[in-house]
Structure 1
Amino acid sequence: MSFIRRRNLISFGTNDSNVDLLDKDAVKYILEKCPSILASIYRRTKQKSKAIQALQYKISGSNKVIYNHEILYNYIYFGDYDGALERAESLSFRDEPIERLLLQIFIHKKTQSEKVCCGSDTYDEISTRVFQYLSTYFTIDILDYFIKALKDFCNNNTECKTKSCGNTKIALFKSQCSKDYLEKLSTESLKYIYHELDIIEALRLIVHRNPKSSERYFREFIERCFPTNEEVKSILGRFYVPSLFELLKERNSLTEDIMKVKEYYTKSCKEVKLESRYCKKAKMIEKNTYLSTCKTFNKKR
C-alpha cells in the first residue's frame, strides 16, 4: 500500500464541481476571497496547472506558508512527486509539514521502485532519513509507520533468520529520547511512546503534565518511577489523586495542605451526588404531578 494517501491530504470540492458553470466575475470573486475553493474545483476537473495558479494568487504575506503547503499537496494529489520535490527545493523556508512530506515522498519512491530488506543500502538510507526527521520533529504517524516497516523489511529478506533486525534501530531511537526531547512532545505523543516503546520517562511527564490523567497511569507511575515525596506532593498540590494520597499516607508524609485538597475534593463529590439525587427526585415529582393532572382531567370528562 502506498505510504502517501493522496486523497486524504486535500480538502476537496463537491463531486459535481465544474468551473465552466461560473462566470468570470464569480471566478474572480472566489479567487480573491478563498483561492483554496477554486483550486479544489480545478482539482475535481483534473486541471493541475490552474489549481496551482489559483493557490499562487495569495502566496505572499501572511498566507505564504499556508498556500505553499497546499501547492505541495496539490502535486501529491496528482501523483506528481517530482514536481513536489522541485517545488520544495525552490522554497526559502522549511518547516515540519514540508520535512514530513519530503520524507514521505522519499520513502514512497524507494519502496515502490525497490524491494527493501534489512541489510540493504536502501534500508540504511530510509533509516537515516527517518532518524534525521525524528531528531528534530516527531509525529506518531512517522514513528508508527517506521516500526511496522522495519518488520516488513526483515520479512522481505529470506536470509534473515531472527526477524528482529529492526529492534536495533528502535533501540537507537529510544536512546535519543532524553527528557529534553520528550518535553517538547504533546501528551498524546508521550502516551504513544510510553505504550509502544515502554519509555518510563514519558510516563513521568504524562502524570506531571496532566494530573487529571487516568488513575491507571498514576498506579504505574508509583510502581515504575518510584517517585519521591516532593514529586508526589507537587502533583497532589494541584489535583487530588487517590493512589498518590494513599502513597503519602503509607509514608507518613501527608501535609495539611494536601489534607485540605482531599477535603475539598470529598466535599465537591458529595455536592455532585446530592445534586444528582435532587434531579432524580425532581423528575419523579414532575411525573407524579403529570399523572395526577391526567386523572383529574379524566374524572371531569
Structure 2
Amino acid sequence: MLYAQTTAEAKRRLFRERLATGELLRFPGAFNPLSARLIEQKGFEGVYISGAVLSADLGLPDIGLTTLTEVAGRGKQIARMTDLPAIIDADTGFGEPMNVARTIQELEDAGLAGAHIEDQVNPKRCGHLDGKSVVDEATALKRIRAGVDARRDSNFLIMARTDIRATEPGDSGLALAADRAKALVDAGADAIFPEAMRTLEEFEAIRKAVDVPILANMTEFGKSELFSSEQLASVGVNIVIWPVSMLRISMGATGRALDELNNVGHLTGKLGEMQHRADLYELLDYESYNSFDTNVFNFEVER
C-alpha cells in the first residue's frame, strides 16, 4: 500500500550487489510513478528517469531548462513507488562543482539509487543530436569529484557520462572517449555512460578501457543501433536503458486515440488497446487499501 516497502538505503545496497555480479541489468525509462510500478511488475531490474522525459513532461525541450528542484521532486515521486533501484539523469549537475555536490545530496534525499553527471557544456543538448560541445577534462573531473565527496551513502551510484565521442569523427573520437572514461574513473566515478556509441565494437572498446560498469543508451532515432540485451551483454555492458521509449509509445497511442475521436467520435474500436480498469486497480494494489479501510474498496470490477 502507498509506497515501496524497501528503503532507499536497501535499494542502493541491493543494486550495488547485483551490479557487482556483472550481469546485464535492464532499466526501462519511467515517465511517471505509475509506469515505474508497471516496469517492476513486468520483471525488470531497475527504473531509469530520463532528463529528456522530465523536460518533455513539462512541455520543454531537453536543453538544460529543468531545475534541480523539478528533477529531484519528480525523481522522488517515481523512485518511492517501486522497490526497484532508480537511476536519474542529473544533466551537468545544475551548475558549478558546488552545485553538483548539492545535486547529489538532494538526489540521495529523494530516494534515488544513483545519478549520472555529464561533461557537456551548459546549456546541454540531447546526447544524440549533432553540434554538442564538452567541457575540458579538468572541469569534467571536478564535477565528478564534487559529487563523490558530497555523497553520504557510499552505495549511491555516481556515474559519469561522456559525450566526447561525437566531437571527433572515426577512431579519434572513440579514443577520446576511452581516455576520458579512464580519467573519470580515476576521479571517482563508479560507472561510465559513454553516450552515442555507434557499434557494438565501440561499446566493447570502452569496456576494455575501464574496470567499472558501463551503460548503453538504446534510445530510438539516435546515433546508436538498437542492439538487443543479448548483444550488449556479449560485449560486457552492465546496464541498458531505454530512456524515452515508453513515453514515445504512450504519446503515439494517445495521438492515435485523439485521431479516432476526431474521425469516429468514440473510442469503442480502441478498447482492446487500453489498460483494463481491473488491471489498473491491480497495479495500484487497490485491495491493500481495502485491508486498511473497507470503506475505500468495497466493490468488484467486472471484466
| TM-score normalised by L of structure 2 | 0.30
Query: Going by fraction, where is helix more abundant, 1 or 2?
Result: 1
Higher strand content, 1 or 2: 2
Greater length-normalized contact order (CA 8 Å, ≥ 6 residues apart) = 2
Could you state the TM-score of these two structures normalised by the residue count of structure 1?
A: 0.30
- Rg (Cα) greater in structure: 1
